Amino acid sequence: MQAALTAFFMLFFSLLSLLGIAANGFIVLVLGREWLQYGRLLPLDMILISLGVSRFCLQLVGTVYNFYYSAHKVEYSGGLSRQFFHLHWHFLNLATFWFCSWLSVLFCVKTANITHPTFLWLKWRFPGWVPWLLLGSVLISFIITLLLFWVNYPVYQEFLIRKFSGNMTYEWNTRIEMYYLPSLKLVIWSIPCSVFLVSIMLLINSLRRHTWRMQHNGHSLQDPSTQAHTRALKSLISFLILYVLSFLSLIIDATKFISMQNDFYWPWQTAVYLGVSVHPFILIFSNLKLRSVFWKLLLLARGFWVA
C-alpha cells in the first residue's frame, strides 16, 4: 500500500512538474518573441519573463534533483553532487522570491488607490526602476548563494575526509548544516517575503475597500466592474497563499525534517513546487496578452487534432 502511494505521488509530482515547465516556458516564449519583435518590454512583462525563466529552470533542477536523489540514495545523500544541485537550487529559489516580490510591488503601485505622497512618488518612479531591480536581484541572489556555498563547503569537505580516511570528527560541521544554515536561510528569504507581504496586503486592502464602496453605491455583484475587482481579489489571494506556502515549505525543507527515506517525501515535494507550477496559469489567465495567445494555441491544436 505504501509503495502504491509513493508511486502515485511520484507520478503526480511528475505531471505537476511538466505542467509547470510548459506554463513557464509558454510565458517566456510569448514575451521573448515580443521582445525580439519590438526590441523592448513593458515593466510588467520584464518581471513576468524573468519570473518565467527562473521558475522554468527551478522546476527542471528540482525534477532532476528529486529523481536523481531517488535513484542514488546511498552515494548522493551526502556527496558533492548534492552540493552542486543545491548551488543552483538556492540561487533560483532566491531569485524567484525576489521576482515575485517585485511583481507584487508593481501590481500595488499600479492598482492600489492610496493617496499618501510617498506612495504617489513610488507609483511614478518604480516602473523605471524595474530593469535595475531585476538585475540587482540576480546579483544579490548569486552573491548570497556563493556565500552559502562557502559556509556549507566544510560539511562536504568533511564528508570526503570521512569517506576516504575514516575520520569521524564531523560534529561541528553537522551542527552548522542542521542548525545555523536553516536560520541563515530564514533571514535571507524573509527579506523578499516581507516586501511581498507588505505590498500584497496593501493592494488587497485597497481592492477590498474599493469593491465594498462600489457595492454600497448601488453596483450589483453582476456589474462588470465589480466582477473584475472580485476576480482581481481572488487572483491576489491565490498568489498570496501560494507564495506563503512556498516560503513555509522552503523553511521546513531547509531543516531537513523530511528526508528521502520519509514516507511523506513525495507529497512534501509536491507541496514545495506547487506554487511554481500553479501560479504561472494564474498569470496566464489574468493577463490579456498571454490569455489570448493561449486560447489561439488551443484552437490551433484542436483544429489540428480534428483534421
Q: Express each pLDDT in 49-84 by its tens digit.
A: 999 999 999 999 989 888 877 776 645 555 566 677
Asked if pLDDT for residue 86 goes beyond 50, the answer is yes
3-state class percentages of the chain: helix first, strand second, coil last, to nearest 5: 85, 0, 15
Does residue 139 form part of some domain? yes
Residue 170 has pLDDT above 50, yes or no: no
Residue 268 scores a pLDDT above 90:
no
Cell of 103: 511583481
288 occurs within a structural domain: yes
Residue 45 lies in a domain: yes
Structural domain containing residue 285: 1-214+225-298
Predicted local confidence at residue 19, as pLDDT: 94
CATH number at residue 247: 1.20.1070.10
- Does residue 42 lie within any of the structural domains? yes
Query: What's the pLDDT at 169?
Result: 44
Indicate the number of domains in the chain.
Answer: 1
User: Is 58 a domain residue?
Assistant: yes
Q: Is residue 305 part of a domain?
A: no
State the average pLDDT for the chain: 80
Residue 100 CB coordination number (10 Å): 26
Q: Answer yes or no: is 203 within a domain.
A: yes
